[in-house]
């Protein structure tokens, strides 16, 4: 089992390495000369040459890649051309802001998803179950910006005028100092993620509740409540952990649209800015960061799956 | 203060009115003002004290404090309040003295003498000396690193101190309107030992804090040369890149004034009694630029056809919500030499078809490069595209982002857009209509035109010069590459308790960012 | 065989609702694009009043064009792009997945590791990267969304193919020396249509969502085209005064994606039921 996990880990590292090459090559193809982009109307040939020198744009490609990669590995994400500062400083506050969104969304959606999913599974086939299933099916279909705009119309502009529709954060003050402006972005993400957790939890629980061990427990006359908590839930924990991990991974990418919609000062909004500004190293850093979170969380999901599922353990091992 | 009590307070102020929808609820943090005091439009003599918080469009992490290379709106706002040039353009677009008391020319206009204002001091209390002026211009025209203003000072040969308070500008050729060139905000006078890390000038405010791309604060300059000015103790400039964020900040009282209100939203803001709109007629212009050296625009008939197919009134209505005046393919409307006798061009589809048929391009197809380089730019391109269709002209829109627009093809797009502030005719021509101009987007290089301009530059006699300038304008009117359809208004907004902001012709937002005139009435000034 | 699946799926009430919802929006988008100007009297790029004013049934947009006309005209591109991206994704994914599953060995490893790399970048981020390189072009949008679907479809196709190739009829075909391409098309493909149909529905829902999202970010369909995603972004600044320019397209996209998702879910349910019945 340890060997399998190690193998999985090695594959993840390789995948990340290939992703880094892909991202690096992609940003090489960006149109527009970053040196010109910075100088804009102030560009003269001498200045462009000087800036290119400064930005190491005249060093061979492979060397730039290794310079960049070794920088990333030592925690130096590079130089942001549009901000004329290090990418680390640019992203420092933004990573925090995005994490606040992610964690708040995860902390709210996970318990709701688990409880509703379990409840729905226990009542499988009844009206309440159909309502929950139908509802989660509908919400799960909606693109995140559709949910976000609907919430804005509902709570901020047209129906009720209760919550801010854009994030305003004066410099130096963290976004969470004004909690009301976190409500709509978090609610959007919660609505996007919860239906998946509900659906997976429901399916898993239905399977578990029909399994032999639970059947056995019931036959022994153990009260249903105890059957649920002692026998059914532990069996479901593996797949559920996987679902949660996958949703977290999804959130890492899903914040892009939500942050843009609410003008939220996180890494997603920074990515769109950087794409527009041809800020190569920022694009590289954020893409790699998101891919990194994605790969690591997926790895965790797999490891949890391997550890908790003896059947899978043996099956994959052969 | 807990959020609910704040919320209650806002509710009491009737915040959840119509306009509040835009803002939605702003829970004010610690920066709340005396919210209970009824705010009303201030009257009477200016009051001293308080802090003005300004929301400015644009900017980014490449923001600078360098007095000589301001690029974005926040840069310009900082430059104008920290530094002063020898002269400036006031709200009426009149040339007025600033660091200089006077600037006078020799009879042949080859030597100009500036007298430094008596008693004027830098932020650190040192008096402004002739050597400071000399050093400032040396910094601007540094051949290794020429600054923004250098391009228009090509005739400047040397700057020489000639007395305790006088400096001579010696020119390589007679230049009648040289003082006009000195009246640019990017020609601020700084100490001879200037260092951008210690941004010292003679402006009404001195530097407090500076966070590139985010916010800068300024403190009252106690040495300022205008008695009592500035009225404010503190000035805070905050960058806002997004329109809705800026408007929300105003409606939720996080800022006192904002520049650049999207024109379509003027009525919404007007309906809010706490907000005032500052609507300025200007001489700014947003042309479509056609390269006269590239097909199909190298055929003057094609250029004329495109100038005739545009419906200027409709452009103003659809793009500017009516906030602008019709233009006649000419710039510099406030120049005394502006030729208003040339007939106003109007849409004439029959003539358009005739011109295109004569040019052998009855089904003209062109590509217009557009980018959000200025409020309304992409919208203008869309409206123009639709209008051209009426005459069978196909305009394909090539929408790029701002960085690409100003990237390697900048100034070389065959057909694109541009944006210029108010200028007088000759400075504008020097900037954009001569082969030697730094930003000649249309590649206009008409030899006859260039010769007339050269002659006009050296002509001291006003009547004679005006005659030459009229000739030049006629050439541009007939053969030029700019489609100048309007002079858009500059629309800004402020809280009712803010005073001292007046309409300004320069096109620079918020009374030309001249915050030394601003003061706060009751209800303002935390 | 897939006909049976479809019939079975469409027997479900949920599928009928989904089909109705999808049908309404598709009809609206197609008929709107064809006859919109007859209903409202305007072309999508005509001006009907001042910007953000209440002229017409749904007001005007930021340059004074009729919102209703543009709404009616703005769905067809989205549908077309979504369908095309789905087609590319499912075809490419199914082909690669079947090939990997059937052939095994190093080719299998190469295809699946390659898709692992693609899978480790979120679809939208990948699309952003591609658009940043080449610019917001229609074909690129279709291609990049299609490509990001492919590894996800390939995984499913590979898994089901592996389940099928042990069957006797495949072995028989191999014994007869039938070429690989024919085995895959004639013997394998008809037996994995169930899961592929489910994937098709799922990918279509996502494709519509991604195209609309990218247009909403300003990186998809470009002005002056009337497009639902783009309309939402263009008009949201005036949400307070003229909400229809945002509300109509949001509703349409919502109904459309909900509809396709209901159908997909019914397909999945029908396919699952068939598997249980067969086993």
Please tell me the distance in Å from C209's CA to the nearest CA on chain A.
Answer: 5
Task: Give CA separation, A269 vs A266, B53, B111, B140, C88, in Å.
Answer: 6, 25, 54, 37, 29
Q: Does A291 touch chain C (CB under 8 A)?
A: yes
Residue A100, pLDDT > 60, answer yes
Tell if the CB–CB gap between A170 and B215 is shorter than 8 Å.
Answer: yes
Nearest by CB: C63 against B265, B268, B319: B319
- How does pLDDT run across B376-404, given as a tens digit for each residue? 899 999 999 999 999 999 999 988 877 77
> Any chain C CB within 8 A of the CB of A294?
yes
Contact across the interface for C212 and A146, Cβ inside 8 Å: yes
Which residues in chain B touch residue A170, judged by CB atoms under 8 angstroms apart?
Answer: 31, 215, 238, 254
Who contacts B384 (Cβ-Cβ below 8 Å, separation ≥6)? B288, B310, B315, B368, B395
- pLDDT higher than threshold 90 for residue A187: yes
* A144: CB partners within 8 A, 6+ apart: A188, A189, A192, A254, A257, A258, C213
B1: how many CB neighbours lie within 10 A of its CB? Answer: 11
Other residues' Cβ atoms within 10 Å of the Cβ of residue A135: 14
Place of tokens 């169930």: C194
Nearest-CA distance A68 → chain B (Å): 22
pLDDT at B293 (0 to 100): 93
Spell out which residues of chain A touch residue C130, defining contact as CB-CB under 8 Å.
Answer: 26
State whether C209 and A143 contact (CB < 8 Å).
yes
Q: How far is B100 from chain C (nearest CA, A)?
A: 45
pLDDT per residue over B199-240, tens digit each? Answer: 999 999 999 998 877 789 999 999 999 999 999 999 999 888
| Structure tokens, B514 | 């001249």
pTM of the model: 0.82
Buried b / exposed e over A2-19, threshold 16 CB at 10 Å, is eeeeeeeeeebeebbebb
Alpha-carbon dihedral A223, A224, A225, A227, rounded to 10 degrees: 90
Structure tokens at B10: 């806002």
Q: Do A142 and C14 touch (CB under 8 A)?
A: no
Nearest to B62 among A33, A82, A263 (CB): A82
Which single residue is written with the structure tokens 């000369």? A33
Assess contact for B121 and B204: CB atoms under 8 A.
Answer: no
Pairing of strands B215-220, B205-211: antiparallel
Helix C123-134 vs helix C193-216: crossing angle, to nearest 10: 50
Across residues B49-64, what is the average pLDDT?
A: 84
Contact between A26 and C130 using a beta-carbon 8 Å cutoff: yes
Neighbouring CB atoms inside 10 A of C212's CB total 29
- From the list C113, C217, C261, which residue is nearest A257 (CB)? C217
Closest chain B residue by Cα to residue A153: B21
Indicate the length of chain B as a whole number: 526
Cβ of C133 within 8 Å of Cβ of A30? The answer is: yes
Place of tokens 């797999």: A302
- Residue A318 has a pLDDT of 34
Closest alpha carbon within chain B to A276: B401
CB contact under 8 A, C131 and A275: yes
Please answer yes or no on whether C63 and B318 come within 8 Å at the CB atom: yes
More reliable by pLDDT, A273 or B364:
B364
pLDDT at A315: 44
Q: Say whether pLDDT at A58 is over 80.
A: no
What pLDDT, on a 0 to 100 scale, did the predictor assign at position A278?
A: 67
Q: Could you give the CA distance from residue B475 to residue B241 in angstroms, rounded to a whole number?
A: 39
- Mean pLDDT across B468-472: 96
Q: Does B266 touch chain C (CB under 8 A)?
A: no
Ramachandran bin of B376, using left for φ above 0, alpha for ψ from -120 to 50, beta for the remaining angles:
left
In angstroms, the first-to-last Cα distance of chain C is 17
SS3 B396: strand
Which residue is closest to B29 within chain A, CA to CA?
Answer: A178
Name the residue facing C261 among A23, A140, A146 (closest C-beta): A140
Angstrom distances, CA of residue A63 to CA of A18, A59, A66, B248: 16, 7, 5, 47
A161–B16 C-beta distance less than 8 A:
yes
Chains contacting chain B through 3 or more C-beta pairs under 8 A: A, C
CA B16 – CA C168 distance, rounded (Å): 73
Per-residue pLDDT of chain C (279 residues; tens, 9 = 90+): 456 778 888 888 889 999 999 999 999 999 999 988 888 888 888 888 888 888 888 889 888 899 999 999 999 999 999 999 999 999 999 999 999 999 888 999 899 888 888 888 888 888 888 887 777 788 999 999 999 999 999 999 998 898 888 888 888 888 888 888 888 888 888 888 888 999 999 999 999 999 999 999 888 888 888 999 999 988 888 887 888 999 999 999 999 999 999 999 898 888 877 666 554
> Domains plus CATH for chain B?
3-26+52-82+203-278+492-520 (3.40.190.10), 87-182 (3.90.76.10), 288-487 (3.10.105.10)
The long-range contacts involving A86-89, CB below 8 angstroms and separated by at least 24 positions, are A87/A281, A87/A282, A87/A285
How far apart are the C-alpha atoms of B155 and B436, rounded to whole Å? 12
pLDDT at A269 over 80: yes
Q: Which residue of B has its CA nearest to A173?
A: B29
Nearest Cα of chain A lies from the Cα of B253 at a distance, in angstroms, of 12
Q: Of C129, C195, C198, C202, give the one whose Cα is nearest residue C164.
A: C195
For residue B218, give the H/E element and its range: strand B215-220
Identify all chain C residues contacting B242, using CB atoms and an 8 Å cutoff.
none
Residue of A nearest to C238 (CA): A157
CA distance, residue A277 to nearest chain B CA (Å): 6
Count of A-C CB contacts under 8 Å:
135
């Amino acid at each position: 089992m340890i060997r399998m996990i190690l193998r999985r880990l090695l594959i993840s590292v390789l995948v990340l390495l290939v992703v880094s090459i892909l991202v690096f090559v992609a940003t090489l193809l960006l149109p527009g000369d970053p040196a010109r982009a910075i100088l804009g109307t102030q560009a003269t040939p001498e200045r462009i040459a000087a800036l290119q020198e400064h930005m190491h744009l005249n060093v061979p490609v492979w060397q730039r890649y290794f310079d960049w990669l070794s920088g990333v590995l030592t925690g130096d994400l590079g130089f942001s051309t549009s901000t004329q500062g290090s990418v680390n400083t640019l992203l420092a506050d933004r990573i925090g802001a995005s994490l606040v969104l992610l964690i708040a969304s995860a902390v709210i959606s996970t318990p709701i998803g688990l409880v509703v999913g379990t409840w729905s599974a226990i009542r499988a086939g009844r009206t309440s179950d159909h309502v929950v299933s139908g509802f989660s099916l509908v919400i799960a279909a909606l693109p995140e910006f559709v949910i976000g705009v609907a919430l804005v119309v509902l709570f901020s502009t047209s129906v009720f005028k209760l919550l801010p529709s854009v994030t305003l954060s004066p410099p130096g003050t963290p976004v969470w100092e004004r909690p009301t402006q976190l409500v709509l972005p978090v609610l959007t993400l919660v609505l996007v993620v919860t239906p998946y957790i509900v659906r997976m939890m429901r399916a898993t629980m239905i399977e578990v509740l029909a399994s032999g061990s639970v059947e056995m427990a019931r036959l022994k006359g153990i009260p249903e409540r105890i059957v649920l908590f002692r026998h059914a839930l532990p069996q479901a924990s593996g797949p559920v952990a996987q679902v949660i991990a996958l949703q977290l991974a999804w959130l890492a990418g899903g914040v892009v649209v939500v942050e843009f919609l609410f003008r939220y000062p996180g890494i997603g909004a920074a990515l769109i800015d950087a794409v527009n500004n041809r800020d190569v190293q920022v694009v590289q850093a954020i893409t790699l960061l998101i891919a990194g979170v994605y790969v690591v969380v997926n790895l965790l999901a797999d490891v949890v799956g391997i550890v908790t599922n003896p059947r899978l353990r043996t099956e994959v091992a052969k | 203060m807990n959020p609910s009590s704040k919320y209650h307070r806002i509710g009491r102020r009737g915040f959840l009115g119509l306009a509040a929808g835009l803002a939605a609820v702003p829970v004010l943090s610690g920066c709340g003002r005396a919210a209970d005091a009824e705010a009303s439009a201030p009257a009477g003599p200016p009051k001293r004290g308080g802090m003005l918080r300004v929301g400015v469009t644009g900017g980014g992490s490449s923001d600078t404090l360098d007095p000589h290379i301001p690029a974005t709106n926040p840069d310009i706002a900082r430059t104008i309040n920290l530094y002063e040039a020898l002269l400036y353009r006031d709200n009426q677009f009149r040339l007025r003295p600033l660091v200089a008391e006077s600037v006078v020319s020799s009879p042949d206009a080859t030597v100009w003498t500036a007298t430094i204002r008596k008693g004027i001091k830098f932020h650190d209390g040192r008096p402004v000396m002739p050597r400071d002026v000399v050093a400032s211009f040396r910094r601007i025209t540094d051949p290794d690193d020429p600054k923004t203003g250098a391009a228009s000072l090509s005739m400047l040969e040397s700057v020489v101190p000639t007395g305790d308070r006088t400096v001579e500008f010696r020119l390589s050729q007679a230049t009648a309107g040289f003082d006009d060139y000195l009246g640019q905000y990017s020609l601020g006078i700084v100490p001879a030992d200037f260092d951008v890390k210690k941004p010292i000038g003679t402006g009404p405010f001195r530097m407090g804090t500076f966070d590139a791309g985010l916010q800068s604060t300024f403190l009252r300059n106690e040495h300022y040369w205008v008695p009592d000015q500035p009225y404010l103790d503190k000035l805070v400039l905050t960058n806002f890149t997004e329109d809705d964020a800026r408007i929300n900040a105003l409606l939720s009282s996080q800022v006192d004034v904002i520049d650049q209100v999207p024109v379509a939203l003027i009525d919404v803001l007007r309906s809010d009694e706490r907000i005032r709109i500052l609507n300025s007629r200007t001489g700014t212009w947003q042309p479509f630029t056609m390269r006269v050296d590239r097909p199909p625009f190298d055929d003057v008939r094609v250029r004329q056809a495109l100038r005739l197919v545009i419906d200027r009134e409709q452009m103003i209505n659809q793009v500017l919500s009516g906030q602008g005046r019709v233009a006649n393919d000419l710039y510099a409307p406030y120049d005394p030499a502006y030729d208003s006798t040339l007939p106003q061009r109007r849409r004439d589809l029959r003539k358009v078809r005739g011109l295109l048929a004569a040019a052998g391009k009855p089904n003209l197809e062109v590509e217009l490069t557009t980018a959000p380089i200025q409020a309304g730019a992409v919208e203008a391109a869309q409206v123009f595209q639709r209008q051209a269709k009426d005459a069978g002209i196909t305009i394909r829109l090539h929408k790029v982002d701002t960085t690409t627009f100003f990237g390697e093809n900048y100034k070389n797009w065959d057909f694109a857009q541009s944006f210029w502030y108010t200028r007088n005719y000759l400075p504008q021509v020097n900037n954009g209509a001569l082969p030697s101009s730094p930003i000649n987007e249309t590649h206009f290089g008409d030899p006859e035109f260039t010769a007339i301009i050269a002659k006009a530059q050296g002509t001291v006699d006003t009547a004679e010069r005006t005659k030459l300038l009229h000739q030049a304008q006629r050439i541009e009117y007939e053969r030029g590459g700019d489609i100048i359809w309007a002079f858009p208004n500059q629309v800004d907004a402020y809280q009712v308790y803010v005073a001292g902001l007046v309409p300004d012709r320069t096109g620079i937002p918020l009374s030309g960012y001249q915050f030394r005139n601003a003061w706060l009435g009751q209800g303002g000034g935390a | 065989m897939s006909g049976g699946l479809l019939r079975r799926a469409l027997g479900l009430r949920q599928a009928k609702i989904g089909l109705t919802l999808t049908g309404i929006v598709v009809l609206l988008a197609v008929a709107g694009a064809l006859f919109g100007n007859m209903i409202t009297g305007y072309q999508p790029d005509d001006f009907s009043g001042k910007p953000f004013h209440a002229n017409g049934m749904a007001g005007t947009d930021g340059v004074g064009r009729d919102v209703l006309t543009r709404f009616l005209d703005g769905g067809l591109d989205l549908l077309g792009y979504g369908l095309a991206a789905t087609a590319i994704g499912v075809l490419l994914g199914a082909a690669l997945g079947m090939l990997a599953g059937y052939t095994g060995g190093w080719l299998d490893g190469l295809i699946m590791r390659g898709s692992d790399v693609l899978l480790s970048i979120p679809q939208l981020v990948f699309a952003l990267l591609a658009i940043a390189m080449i610019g917001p072009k229609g074909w690129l949008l279709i291609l990049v969304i299609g490509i990001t679907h492919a590894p996800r479809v390939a995984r499913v196709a590979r898994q089901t193919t592996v389940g099928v190739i042990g069957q006797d009829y495949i072995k028989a075909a191999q014994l007869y020396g039938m070429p690989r391409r024919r085995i895959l098309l004639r013997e394998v493909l008809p037996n994995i249509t169930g899961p592929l149909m489910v994937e098709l529905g799922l990918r279509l829902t996502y494709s519509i969502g991604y195209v609309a999202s990218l247009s909403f970010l300003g990186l998809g369909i470009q002005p002056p085209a009337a497009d639902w995603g783009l309309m939402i972004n263009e008009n949201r600044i005036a949400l307070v005064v003229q909400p229809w320019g945002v509300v109509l397209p949001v509703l349409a996209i919502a109904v459309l994606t909900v509809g396709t998702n209901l159908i997909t879910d019914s397909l999945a349910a029908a396919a699952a039921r068939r598997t249980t019945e067969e086993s």
